Structure 1
Amino acid sequence: MSEDPHALLPRRLADSYVDELVELEPITGTFLGVPGSADRLPDFSPAGADALADLARTTLDRLPAGEGLPDGDSDAERRCARLLRERLTAELAVHEAGEPLRAVSNIHSPVHSVREVFTITPTDTDEDWAAVARRLRAVPAALAGYRASLAEGLGRSLPAGPRQVATVIGQLGEWVGTPGGGWFTQFVSGGPDALRAELDAAAREATDSVATLRDWLRDTYAPAVEGAPEIVGRERYARWVRYWNGTDLDLDDAYAYGWSEFHRLHAEMRAEAEKILPGATPWEALRHLETEGEAVEGVEEVRAWLQRLMDDAIGALDGTHFELADRVKRVESMIAPPGSAAAPYYTSPSLDFSRPGRTWLPTQGLTRFPVYDLVSTWYHEGVPGHHLQLAQWVHVAEDLSRYQTTVGMVSANAEGWALYAERLMDELGFLYNAERRLGYLDCQMMRAVRVIIDIGMHLELPIPSDSPFHPGDRWTPALAQEFFGRHSGRPGDFVESELVRYLGMPGQAIGYKLGERAWLRGREAARAAHGAAFDAKKWHMAALSQGSLGLDDLVAELSAL
């Protein structure tokens, strides 16, 4: 590549980086749909992490300095260069601080990546299933590498939080103890008869390695980290904020913004609750809706109901508020595998759209599903939220770069768009009754509470004197969980799962509300610049076709559209 006169153009360099990354991270290759990646797993050992860091450093060395880019398509190159430099620098900061050596989380860790990738691995042909068997055989080595990283972290006094460890031990126990011989055995039960013996044996090996990791975490790691802090402190928190948000935030300003949104939303929730159950608090009204509101009975029934909700949204929005390519319109509703965290999630389509975008609902053992919170949540996860943004990014990947539209995703950009999408559906009248609107406001309140408690507990900030909750006290995880539980319509096990998530992914949860604020600021600036000529449909499509941007750049780029 060094002999190519265009080798250092940022978009070419970025795609070269993706090619090399897929060799080291075949899970990424499977998410992208890259042929030949479906039978391997990454090296999660310290050496594997070092190899990723070396690739990042090499790529940064080859990136043009400053704005020294050629004429022509320079805006696209400029955006790509800024994103690539910012993302790789943030990732290196995390690596150099030793964070991969303490990567225990109930939702975002190597062991979760290992299981999740099987849910999107192709299984259409006997050849696909043979690759599944080879990947299953790779699970023991991948988890042994992960264990080696955690062991090195202990040796370097880099412990994970005990609450994370206890939660993951429980999750792994559920994976191993799933009826039918464990989750992996259940997964391969749909494979071809010709490969039955190979698949069953490989699944048993994978299950045994999960059990081995669980036992090591329980018997060796958990005692070693007992008493370690659950919170990360200001220095680590600032590093993670940059990683998840693509910016160095004024954390005191963000904390104050979270409180201002809390008070605004509380007032709106009281007004909607009064329509549902006069005299009730918002959370009394939400508990009332749990038993008396609209609901869907049955797991398959709720999956189909969510599919119809997304299909109907596409039909209503396409041509009016968005202009969607046919392949972007395809999205599938799925049920998440057992042992998942409580929060729903989305997986992007492969680069060729042979695997569509998918939303995933963790049922948590439930068979009855109240609608009040599902509607807004699926506007967030599906349409017009994550699916429309991330599928549109894949649709324009050849015009930008694969990096800008896949690997280089900034969490706060995507989560901010998805929260903006919920608000957009409210603005457009899709939340047409008090029940659905209160559910939407509860979702918004959860994101405001996230800003307050994520920043508050990790930095041990004081609770404001005008707060309705423990004024003047300093935040702790226990107070954060109590506050969340008091100001959420969700059950206690969901609140518990969420708090563990925030402790294990510091700085990520604040990106929803702060990302939404960036999207709203960008839209209002563009509207002010264009006046009566502002076209929301054109703006939405231009905004969704830029690819990833950190919050440092998002408002400026959206404002200029």
Structure 2
Amino acid sequence: MSLADEMFQAVMDYSPQSATMLGVPGWEDKLEDLSTDGEQVIRDRIAGLLEKAETDDTEDPVTLAVIKQQGRAIVDRIDARLIEHTVATGLDAPVNGLLMISSRLDVSERVDQFARYIGQAGQRVRDSDRRPLRRHLEVGVKRMESVLAAPVQEWEGDHSAEIRTAIAGFRDVLTSIEDGRGDDKPGLCWLPEGERNYTNLARDYTTTTRTPDELHRLGKDLIASLREEYAEIGSRVWGTSDVPEIFHRLRTELLWDNEEQMVENALGAIARAEAEAPNWFGRMPRNACQVRAVEEAEQRTSAIAFYQPGSLDGTRPGTYWLNPLGATERSRTLSEVTAFHEAVPGHHYQFSIAAELDVHNVRKFAFIEAYLEGWGLYTERLADEMGLYSSEEQRLGMLGLDAMRAGRLVVDTGLHAFGWTRQQAVDYLRENTVMPEPEINAEIDRYIESPGQALAYMVGRLEIQRIRSEAETKMGDRFDVRAFHDLVVGSGAVPLSTLDQIVTAWADAP
């Protein structure tokens, strides 16, 4: 078995649910071991593979770079012991994440392991010296109680009684913790070895050597430059360049009339993108992209929108999920930019084309967020180049998401490296983005429970833009944007430094 084979097996064993979500067969009957001993086994296994990678001369350089990045990221996540204080509503919260995917994927072959998994998660939280935030304990308790109060779901099958007993036990663990952290100490820097863990996670999520301090300053610089763009477009849309007034109007005007209108707009945006894409891409994904509304039972804990890759055999298309909850209170300016990011030409092209590549599975299914989310954010601006936004109002939505991602650099590092309180983070996003208050609070709680992940988006986009700009300068008239995009999405997920090397070799070729 090659090193690539071994690492791919280890990565999928580390997160069998992710394998199923990515459409990789062979892990449908598995659920990871969350116990301390279980995690140590997989950590030791991956650490051994990383040692072998240092002297390996059999794998090609790109595959070897992916192997190292994937292995280091898992080791760092295990070392950070995040599952011991991640208990609220995100996908990274083990119990909530398991419950969320159960209504979207076939879990029949692993449902018999749910009670064991939930029990292990509870034991890790109960026995840890790293306490969750008090507010996240309260959220987690409410989430478990809502599940227990709901009718039995079809996916629970014959294991409903034992699963619900385990959920009740997890709720009781959360209820029993009386020394949860307050909002004044939400970041990793307040936990044992937190600063080191955050530095490692920031490196893994960005695949760069940028320090938390550099990322913090970068975010602030971007926020300042975005205000100039707001003023420019705002003067055309509303006749004002006053940024606070533009922010206010974006928060309170241009809202959806109903849920159906939101879905129809997304369908229209994706259709325009698919029609224009051949002028910007030489390769189209074989798998289709469908738009679906999040099931009502999951709406209160689901993200506003997200993409789920299709299956390898094409029987399940890629799916752009929209959460219609509270549609009439949401700005319609965010509809098109989100569709371009999550669906076409964003994650749908990225995941679907990667799944078609003739490369090793360790590359085909690598989850390198700086590349993945960087591409998604890159396509938001690419859509502007492509002429896809239907109005200046929709371009304001593009700026709105830009500001959110720039703000993430400031807030994520503020929380986890510089000791910010939760309120400091809320205040910063309130002042510098057009996000409504409920979304700001949800985002901040996400950053607290998924340290470093929010850094991937803007860093990834800036690196892809830099790589493209340097290739354009070097190649001049020889530069072909279609070939560039095919190269980026056709390389599969790779560290940004590796993507730079791939594009540089292409640009230097005669």
Would the alpha carbon gap of residues 48 and 334 (structure 1) be closer, same or farther in structure 2, given more than 3 Å must change?
farther
2:130 match: secondary structure: coil
1:426 aligns with 2:387: no
C-alpha displacement at 1:509, in angstroms?
A: 0.9
Deviation sequence 1:258-293 (CA, Å, 0-9, x none): 111111101111222223333474454455456653
Name the residue aligned to 2:100: 116
Deviation sequence 1:424-449 (CA, Å, 0-9, x none): 11122222422111111111011111
User: Does structure 1 conserve the Cα–Cα contact (< 8 Å) formed by 2:15 and 2:31?
Assistant: yes
**Which of 110, 117, 121 in structure 2 is aligned with 1:142?**
117
C-alpha displacement at 1:255, in angstroms?
A: 1.9
1:44 aligns with 2:2: no
2:319 match: secondary structure: strand
1:560 aligns with 2:505: yes
C-alpha displacement at 1:540, in angstroms?
A: 0.2
| Alpha-carbon distance in 1 for matches of 2:147, 2:247 | 32
1:211 aligns with 2:186: no
**Which of 229, 235, 240 in structure 1 is aligned with 2:185?**
229
**Which of 290, 308, 321 in structure 1 is aligned with 2:280?**
321
C-alpha displacement at 1:40, in angstroms?
A: 4.1
Identity of aligned residues (%): 24
User: Does structure 2 conserve the Cα–Cα contact (< 8 Å) formed by 1:342 and 1:494?
Assistant: no
Would the alpha carbon gap of residues 451 and 357 (structure 1) be closer, same or farther in structure 2, given more than 3 Å must change?
same
Q: Name the amino acid aligned to 1:373.
A: L
Q: Aligned-residue CA RMSD in angstroms? A: 2.7
User: Does structure 2 conserve the Cα–Cα contact (< 8 Å) formed by 1:518 and 1:554?
Assistant: no
Deviation sequence 1:314-361 (CA, Å, 0-9, x none): 1221x2101334524434434262332544222222233322222222
Provide TM-score, normalisation by structure 2. Answer: 0.89
Q: Name the amino acid aligned to 2:180.
A: V
1:306 aligns with 2:266: yes
2:333 match: secondary structure: coil
Q: Name the amino acid aligned to 1:542.
A: L
Gaps of at least 5 residues in structure 1 are: 2-6, 8-12, 123-130, 189-197, 462-474
| Alpha-carbon distance in 1 for matches of 2:105, 2:52 | 33
Q: Name the amino acid aligned to 2:134.
A: P
Q: Name the amino acid aligned to 1:82.
A: A
| Alpha-carbon distance in 2 for matches of 1:296, 1:309 | 18
1:263 aligns with 2:220: no
C-alpha displacement at 1:313, in angstroms?
A: 1.1
Name the residue aligned to 2:412: 454
What does 1:502-513 correspond to in 2, within 5 Å?
502-513=447-458
Deviation larger for 378-387 or 482-491: 482-491
| Alpha-carbon distance in 2 for matches of 1:284, 1:169 | 39
| Alpha-carbon distance in 2 for matches of 1:21, 1:460 | 32
2:239 match: secondary structure: coil
Would the alpha carbon gap of residues 176 and 364 (structure 1) be closer, same or farther in structure 2, given more than 3 Å must change?
farther
Name the residue aligned to 2:339: 378
Q: Name the amino acid aligned to 2:186.
A: E
1:415 aligns with 2:373: yes
Q: Name the amino acid aligned to 1:493.
A: P
1:358 aligns with 2:316: no
C-alpha displacement at 1:113, in angstroms?
A: 3.0
**Which of 523, 537, 548 in structure 1 is aligned with 2:493?**
548
2:307 match: secondary structure: strand
Name the residue aligned to 2:192: none
Gaps of at least 5 residues in structure 2 are: 190-194
C-alpha displacement at 1:63, in angstroms?
A: 3.2
Deviation larger for 45-54 or 446-455: 45-54
Name the residue aligned to 2:137: 165
1:83 aligns with 2:74: no
| Alpha-carbon distance in 2 for matches of 1:510, 1:382 | 21
Name the residue aligned to 1:102: 85
Residue-pair matches, total? 497
1:359 match: secondary structure: strand
1:18 aligns with 2:17: no
| Alpha-carbon distance in 2 for matches of 1:173, 1:276 | 46
2:320 match: secondary structure: strand
| Alpha-carbon distance in 2 for matches of 1:330, 1:111 | 29
C-alpha displacement at 1:296, in angstroms?
A: 5.1
Would the alpha carbon gap of residues 271 and 172 (structure 1) be closer, same or farther in structure 2, given more than 3 Å must change?
farther
Q: Name the amino acid aligned to 2:7.
A: Y
User: Does structure 2 conserve the Cα–Cα contact (< 8 Å) formed by 1:46 and 1:148?
Assistant: no
| Alpha-carbon distance in 2 for matches of 1:422, 1:215 | 43
Would the alpha carbon gap of residues 119 and 530 (structure 1) be closer, same or farther in structure 2, given more than 3 Å must change?
farther
User: Does structure 2 conserve the Cα–Cα contact (< 8 Å) formed by 1:322 and 1:537?
Assistant: yes
Q: Name the amino acid aligned to 1:491.
A: P
2:45 match: secondary structure: helix
Would the alpha carbon gap of residues 224 and 115 (structure 1) be closer, same or farther in structure 2, given more than 3 Å must change?
same
| Alpha-carbon distance in 2 for matches of 1:348, 1:441 | 27
C-alpha displacement at 1:237, in angstroms?
A: 1.6
Would the alpha carbon gap of residues 403 and 105 (structure 1) be closer, same or farther in structure 2, given more than 3 Å must change?
farther
| Alpha-carbon distance in 2 for matches of 1:58, 1:342 | 36
Q: Name the amino acid aligned to 2:267.
A: Q
Name the residue aligned to 2:359: 400
User: Does structure 2 conserve the Cα–Cα contact (< 8 Å) formed by 1:33 and 1:351?
Assistant: yes
C-alpha displacement at 1:504, in angstroms?
A: 1.4
User: Does structure 1 conserve the Cα–Cα contact (< 8 Å) formed by 2:284 and 2:349?
Assistant: no
User: Does structure 2 conserve the Cα–Cα contact (< 8 Å) formed by 1:347 and 1:357?
Assistant: yes
C-alpha displacement at 1:309, in angstroms?
A: 2.4
| Alpha-carbon distance in 1 for matches of 2:410, 2:137 | 24
1:373 match: secondary structure: helix
C-alpha displacement at 1:365, in angstroms?
A: 4.2
User: Does structure 2 conserve the Cα–Cα contact (< 8 Å) formed by 1:163 and 1:230?
Assistant: no
